[in-house]
Structure 1
Amino acid sequence: MKQVLLIDTPPLFREFLKEKLTSEKIHVEAAGGRRDAFAKMVSLLPDLIIIDVPKNFQELTEFFEKKRTDPNANCIPVILSGPLPPREIVARLPSYHVIKYFNKPIKFDIFFEFIGQTLRTPLSIDTTQSILEMHLNKNIIFIEIAQGLNREKLALLKYRIDEIIENNKLVSPKVVLMISDLRLSFVDAINLELLLSNVTFDSRIQRKNIKILSKDRFVCDFIDGHEEFRGVEVVENLSMVLSKLVAESSGNDISEVISQNILASTEDMQEGSVEMRFHSETGVASVMNTKKSEKLQVAIIDDDPITRKILEAAFGNLNSQIYMFDAGTKFLGAANQKIYDLIILDIFMPGLSGFDILNALRAKQYPSPVIVYSSAAQKTSVIQALSLGAKAYLIKPLKPDAIIQKALEVLNTKV
C-alpha cells in the first residue's frame, strides 16, 4: 500500500486530504512540528511527503537539510503548498527533491492528478460538469450550484464551510443553498444526500438557518422525508429568502449589503486552503477561452452618458464588442435581432424602466445574463430585479474593477 506523510497541514486541509487519499486505498499519516515529522518520516519512509510551508522558511530549510543527511529519506519526493517562497529558497528546492510547489488556494483536481502521477496510482476524479460558487455576506454563506453535482466538490464543501466560519469568526452563521437550476431525480439521491449532509455538518449552523432555493419537486420530497434534515426549509421564491435574510442580517442598512452584492464576497472573507473550482474553470482565461475567435458581446443600457462612457472603457479591456443604448425601446429593438453575451442594465430611465426590460426579456425567454447597475438601493427594487431574472444587482457608484469582477463571475457561471 502506498503511503503519504502530511506535515504541518492545516486541520481542515489535512482532514480533506486524508478522506480523499484513504478512499483511494492510500495510507496517510500526519505529523505536526519538525521533530515529530522527522521521526515519522524515518520510521515510515513514505512514498510521498506533503508539507504546508511555514511562515519561517528557515525552519523548512533545516528540516530539508536534516532529511538530506538520511540516506533512506533523502530521495523521498516532496510536494509543498503555501505562499510563494523567496527566490533564493526556490532555487534550492530541487536539491531537496521538491517536485512541485502549489500556491494556495490549490486547484484540487490538478493537485490530486499530480499526486496520482507521483505515486503511480491514478486517483479517481469525478469530472461531472458543475459550477460551485461560495460567497459570504455578513453572516450569510451563499452556496450556488449549477449544471450538476460533482462529488469531489461536494466532499470539499463541509471543510470550506468550516474554514469560512473560522476565518471570519462568524456568530450564528446562516446558509443559503441555491440549486434552482438543477433538475434532479432518484438517480441523484446519493449525491443530493452528500450535498445536504455536508451543508448541515457543522453544528454551529442551526437547521432553521439553512434555506434551500429550489423549485424541484424531488428536492422538496427528499428533504421532507429525511429525518436528518428536519428543520431545513426549501423555498421556491428568491424574494422570500432575500426579504428574511437581508432584513435579519442588516437591519435598515440594506444598501450596504446590496453594494457588496448579495452574491459576492465581503472584503474580509479570507481565502481557503483549497479552491472550489477545477483548474479550467477559473479566472479571465476561462471566459476568454470560450471566445477565442470572437469578442464578448456586451449591451449597456443606461440613460446617463457618463455611466455609459465609464462602462465602455471598463469592458473595452475585456475583449468586448460594446453596444450602448440610452433607452430601453432601442435595446429591445436590437435584442429582437441579436443575442448578447452580457447585459448591463440601469433601473430608472425615461420610458421603459429596467423592470420593464427584465419583464420583456423573461417573456421572450432571452438567454443572456443581466447585471443590474443602478443607484436604486431600496430593498424592494433589489428583490424585484433579482426575482425577474437579474443575475446580480450592483449599486452605483462602483469602481470599474468591481463591475468587471462581477461580470466575470456571472460569465463563468454561465459557461
Structure 2
Amino acid sequence: MKHVLVIDESPLFREYLRIKLSDNGLEVSTAINVLDGISKVRTLTPDLIIMDFNLSKGRQDAFEILKEKKNNPNTTKIPVIIMSQRIDQKRIIELVPYNVKKVFTKPIKIDALFATLAELLEVQFEVDETPGIVEVHVNDDIVFIEIAQGLNRDKLDLLRFKIIELIELYQIRVPKVIVMLSDITLTFADGPNIQKLLDTVIQASRARHKNIRILTRDSFVKKFVQSQKEYADIEVVTNLQYALDGLLSELDRNMEFGEKKAEIIGDKVLSAEHSQMPEAMQLRFDAETKAKPLDMEEIQNIAANIRIAAVDDDFVIQELIRTTFEKAGAQVSVFSDGSEYLAALENETFDLVFLDLMMPNIDGFEVLQTLRYKDIRQPVIVLSAVTQRDTVIKAFQMGVKSYLVKPLKPDDILKKSMEILRTNF
C-alpha cells in the first residue's frame, strides 16, 4: 500500500485529503507544522509528500522539511507536491533540487491535483467530470451557496468543508442557509446528487431545516424536496427576496442576532440573484475544529508578502486598511480613485483589492467593468454605505460576491479578507 504524507496547518484540508486518498486505497499520514513534518518524514518514509509551502514562520520554515528529506539517503528521492498561496519564479527554481514534481498555486483545481497524484502514485482516481461551479460566501451570518451548471459530487464533498470553515470563521451561532441553483436543469437521475447536496448542507451547517432555503426555477428540485419527508421543512422558492423574508422572520423570533430587519434586508444581504459566478471554484479551508477569534500569528502567516490595493477617496479608510494589514506583514498600496489604480495595473498585480464604489473621476463600477473587459481576475471586496441598496445589488450583478459596509471595523476587514485569502481549492 502506497503511503502519502500531507503537511498542512489546516485541519479541514488535511481531513479532506485523508478521506479522499484513503477511499482510493492509499495510506495517509498528516503533519501540522514544520517540526511535525520533519519527524514524520524521518520515521514514515512516505511514497509522496503533499506540502503547503506557507507553513507558519518561526525558527524553521518549509525549506527545513525539504532539506531534511534531501540529506537523508532513504528519503531524498521521495517526490513532493507543493501548494502555495503565492510563489515567485525564483522560489520555484530553488525547489528543483528537492525533487519537487509540481507546484500548485492556490486555488488548486482538483482535477489537476488528482491527475498529478495518479501519475506519481500510479493509482487511478475516480473524479466526477460533471460540469459544476460551486461558490460559498457569508454575509451577515447567512451562508450563501451558489451552484451552477451541474451537481459535481467531488465539489459537493469540498462544499462540506467550506461550510464548516466559514461558520467557524464567523462564529455563527444560529446558521441560516440559502442554496442558489442557477443555469441548471435536473432530472430524476439527479435525485441522489440532490440528496447528497441537502445532506451536506444540513450536516455541515447544523442549520435547522426551517432555516434553509433553496432558490431555483427548476421544477424538478421542488418536486424532489417536497416528496422527501426528511426535508419537509426546507422551503424551495423562486425569488430571493421571498427567501430572505422567510429567514428574517425567523431572526425576528430569535433576538440573539440583535440585527434590525431593515439593515439586513437592505444593502448588507441582497446579493447575486443575477450575478455571474467566476470560472474557478473558490472554496477555502483553513479553520480550526473549534471556533476561535483570529490570532495575529495566523493572520501574519496568511498575509505575509500579500499585495493589497485600497482604492478609496477617503483618507481615513485608506489608513485603516493600511494599518490593519501592514501590521500583519502585507504590502498595501493606496489609490484615491479608479484611474490611479487602473494605471498601476500596467506594472503591478494585487492579491486582494478593496474597492469603494463612489469615487471621483473613475468610480468603482467603471473599475469593475474594466477588469472584466481586460479579463483581470483579482479578488475584490466592495466597500459601500449602508443606504446604497441599488449600488450593492449592481455590484453583485457584475460578479462581486464579497462586500463590507461602512463604517469599517478592523476585525470585520480581517475576517472578510481571510475568507478570501484562505484558499486551497
Mark yes or no: TM-score above 0.5: yes
Residue 88 (structure 1) shift: 6.6
Q: Would the alpha carbon gap of residues 77 and 212 (structure 1) be closer, same or farther in structure 2, given more than 3 Å must change? A: same
Please tell me whether Structure 1 or Structure 2 has the larger radius of gyration of its CA atoms: 1
Matches within 5 A, 1:320-359: none
Structure 1's consecutive aligned runs of 4 or more residues displaced over 6 angstroms after TM superposition are: 306-310
Deviations, residues 116-150 of structure 1 (Å, cap 9, x unaligned): 22223343322212222222211011112222111
Task: Give the letter for the 1:194 counterpart.
Answer: K
Q: Could you say which residue in structure 2 is the equivalent of 1:413?
A: none
Residue 394 in 1 paired to residue 391 in 2?
yes
Task: Give the letter for the 1:251 counterpart.
Answer: K
Task: Give the letter for the 2:11 counterpart.
Answer: P
Q: How many residues are matched?
A: 302
Deviations, residues 33-74 of structure 1 (Å, cap 9, x unaligned): 445434433443322101123121733232222222221111
Q: Distance in 1 between matches of 2:84 and 2:110?
A: 14
Superposition CA RMSD, Å = 3.8
Q: Distance in 2 between matches of 1:312 and 1:35?
A: 49
Aligned with 2:74 (options 57, 72, 75): 72
Residue 251 in 1 paired to residue 236 in 2?
no
Q: Could you say which residue in structure 2 is the equivalent of 1:213?
A: 215
Q: Distance in 1 between matches of 2:364 and 2:169?
A: 35
Deviations, residues 181-237 of structure 1 (Å, cap 9, x unaligned): 533222111111111111111264222211112354543343344354343222344
Task: Give the letter for the 2:29 counterpart.
Answer: E
Q: Distance in 2 between matches of 1:308 and 1:98?
A: 45
- Residue 186 of structure 2 aligns to a residue in which SS? coil
Q: Distance in 2 between matches of 1:180 and 1:408?
A: 14
- Residue 241 of structure 1 aligns to a residue in which SS? helix
Q: Would the alpha carbon gap of residues 35 and 133 (structure 1) be closer, same or farther in structure 2, given more than 3 Å must change? A: closer
Q: Distance in 2 between matches of 1:128 and 1:108?
A: 13
Q: Is the 8 A contact 2:211 2:234 kept in 1?
A: yes
Matches within 5 A, 1:24-173: 24-53=24-53, 54-56=55-57, 58-84=60-86, 90-173=92-175
Deviations, residues 340-397 of structure 1 (Å, cap 9, x unaligned): xxxxxxxxxxxxxxxxxxxxxxxxxxxxxxxxxxx9969xxx7xxxxxxxxxx5349x
Q: Distance in 1 between matches of 2:175 and 2:244?
A: 15
Unaligned runs of 5+ in 2: 252-256, 276-281, 287-359, 375-384, 402-425
Task: Give the letter for the 2:284 counterpart.
Answer: G
Identity %: 35
TM-score (norm 1): 0.62
Q: Distance in 1 between matches of 2:188 and 2:104?
A: 38
Residue 407 in 1 paired to residue 419 in 2?
no
Matches within 5 A, 1:15-26: 15-26=15-26
Deviations, residues 263-315 of structure 1 (Å, cap 9, x unaligned): 38xxxxx97149xxxxxxxxxxxxxxxxxxxxxxxxxxxxxxx9999866863
Residue 262 in 1 paired to residue 253 in 2?
no
Q: Would the alpha carbon gap of residues 313 and 215 (structure 1) be closer, same or farther in structure 2, given more than 3 Å must change? A: closer
Q: Is the 8 A contact 2:136 2:283 kept in 1?
A: no
Unaligned runs of 5+ in 1: 265-269, 275-305, 321-374, 383-392, 397-401, 411-415
Q: Would the alpha carbon gap of residues 13 and 317 (structure 1) be closer, same or farther in structure 2, given more than 3 Å must change? A: closer
Residue 4 (structure 1) shift: 1.1
Q: Could you say which residue in structure 2 is the equivalent of 1:364?
A: none
Q: Distance in 1 between matches of 2:152 and 2:86?
A: 30
Q: Distance in 1 between matches of 2:51 and 2:284?
A: 16
Residue 180 (structure 1) shift: 5.8
Q: Distance in 2 between matches of 1:59 and 1:207?
A: 45
Q: Could you say which residue in structure 1 is the equivalent of 2:197?
A: 195
Aligned with 1:223 (options 222, 225, 229): 225
TM-score (norm 2): 0.60
Q: Is the 8 A contact 2:10 2:32 kept in 1?
A: no
Residue 5 (structure 1) shift: 1.0
Task: Give the letter for the 2:369 counterpart.
Answer: F
Matches within 5 A, 1:289-368: 315=369, 318-319=372-373
Q: Is the 8 A contact 2:158 2:283 kept in 1?
A: no
